[in-house]
Amino acid sequence: MELDALIDQVRTAAAQADEAGRAKLLRALRALQPTLETEKDLHWRLGRCHLLITTVRLGQDLDVFRSLVAASAADTPLSSQQVASKSPFPNASPALVTRILRHLAAMSLVAETGPDAFLANKATHALATEKSEGTLHMFGDAIGRVAVTLPEYFAKRGYQDIPSGTQLPFQLAYNSDKPWYQFVGDSPEMSKWLQSLMLVVGEDELWFKAFPFEDEIKGFRGDTVLVDVSGGFGQQCAALIAGLPHLELKGRLVVQDLASTVDLGVRHEGVEAQARDLFAEQKVKGARFYYLRNILHNWPDAECVEMMKRLAEALGDESQILIDEVVLPDQGAAPEATNMDLVMMGFMGSRERTAGEFERILDQAGLKSLRTIVYAHGLRNAIIQVVKK
């Protein structure tokens, strides 16, 4: 009974917490889990990892989450047979769908309201969107495929850290010679998955709510307020326009990316899209901000120095660079960040970095940081404000 009261207290605290409180509680509960688990529990938990994401992917392919969300709007639970019949594959086996739904319910990703009766819960709603489908293709198919090659890759190479290069776990997993971003550029499908992932990882906490954007652009006389350097489909520019409407940023924002990304044609009103390679001359000169979000972690140090030099050459008197990246603390990094570090290693031979590691890159490019503002509680993304030395 005492335990029930305690669990209720935690539930209430979770419901009432702000973003920082929520992240703190989640960290504490994660840390608590291994102290509660037996050896067997631990092995079962690890043993479920691969199949969990695979089952979600199967559920998305079969529109399980979308069907349950629609059923929940009418408050009418669906059976496995009904879920199977609503899938894009009318011959899908209800027996297979039963197995999938049972595991999803066991993992609290759908609600089981009775024997063979299912509805949506909070997680189901999150998994029933196009961006979630793209994100889980990335996490499940692409990242999963690279992840399972790591033991073989490192065994063959005597467990050395990856310096850089093109013979990475990604190439082994995909049996390809292409660097990751060339591979993405040749695959519109993969490109959309990647941008979905970028959308999901960046949508909750907006950097310009913590960074004093409005104050910083006061008195700026130039035309271009911000160039989102390799900004994908321009998600951050769109968020700026929507989040700070009174600043009238339309027409003063530029998003640049590889031609293959720009050619996919996703546009936002008031945002100019330009094809530009990161290592080519920056033709937009003297913008107030050159903003790079999740770019440096894609590249080894030498390439980072080169791309920063190209930006340094374009800086005017009022220009600055904003690097939006995870900054790893010297101790106690978040699991999202350490996970992403290993993903970067496997796909691009690159890494997440500490403040000191960023500073060394900036120094070699003739730049220095003014300050660092941490704005996201999960990944602990931060804005590093950079000027010429």
Ligand X SMILES: C[S@@+](CC[C@H](N)C(=O)[O-])C[C@H]1O[C@@H](n2cnc3c(N)ncnc32)[C@H](O)[C@@H]1O
The site for ligand X, by CB under 6 A, has a size of: 16
Q: Is 67 in the site for ligand X (CB under 6 A)?
A: no
How many CB atoms within 10 Å of residue 281?
10
Q: Which listed residue (80, 171, 261, 320) binds ligand X by CB under 6 A?
A: 261
Distance separating alpha carbons of residues 181 and 339, to the nearest angstrom: 20
Within 163-202, the residues that bind ligand X by CB under 6 A are 181, 198, 202
Q: Using alpha carbons, list the distances in angstroms from residue 177 to 181, 244, 301.
A: 12, 44, 22
Phi, psi of 76 (to 5 degrees): -120, 105
300 and 350 in contact (C-beta within 8 Å)?
Answer: yes
Give the side-chain half-sphere CA count within 13 A for 23.
13
Q: Find the catalytic residue in 103, 268, 297, 377.
A: 297
- Tell me the angle at which helices 235-243 and 188-202 cross, rounded to the nearest 10 degrees: 40
Q: Interface with ligand X by CB under 6 A: which range of 111-119, 214-222, 255-263, 266-274?
A: 255-263
Based on CB atoms, which residue is closest to ligand X, 100 or 323? 323
Distance separating alpha carbons of residues 343 and 294, to the nearest angstrom: 13
Based on CB atoms, which residue is closest to ligand X, 181 or 211? 181
Determine whether 297 is an active site residue: yes
DSSP one-letter string for 292-353:
EES-GGGS-HHHHHHHHHHHHHH--TT-EEEEEEEEE-SS---HHHHHHHHHHHHHHS---E
Least separation in angstroms between residue 199's CB and ligand X is: 7
Based on CB atoms, which residue is closest to ligand X, 257 or 341? 257
Tokens 């850290």 found at? 161
Bridge partners of 373, per DSSP, are 383
Q: Which residue is nearest to ligand X (CB)?
A: 198
Q: Is 232 in the site for ligand X (CB under 6 A)?
A: yes
Based on CB atoms, which residue is closest to ligand X, 92 or 198? 198
Q: Interface with ligand X by CB under 6 A: which range of 132-140, 253-261, 333-341, 380-388?
A: 253-261
How many CB atoms within 10 Å of residue 4?
8
How are beta strands 111-114 and 117-119 bridged, if at all?
Answer: antiparallel
Collapsed DSSP state (helix, strand, coil) of residue 38: coil
Q: Which listed residue (231, 346, 349, 378) binds ligand X by CB under 6 A?
A: 231
Distance separating alpha carbons of residues 238 and 138, to the nearest angstrom: 23
Within 287-346, the residues that bind ligand X by CB under 6 A are 293-295, 298
Q: Is 282 in the site for ligand X (CB under 6 A)?
A: no
Q: Is 235 in the site for ligand X (CB under 6 A)?
A: yes
DSSP-based helix, strand, coil % in the chain, nearest 5: 55, 15, 30
Q: Using alpha carbons, list the distances in angstroms from residue 384 to 74, 307, 324, 338, 367.
A: 48, 16, 6, 19, 12
Q: Is 255 in the site for ligand X (CB under 6 A)?
A: no
Q: Kindly list the catalytic residues.
A: 297
Interface ranges with ligand X (CB under 6 A): 181, 198, 202, 230-232, 235, 257-258, 261, 277-278, 293-295, 298
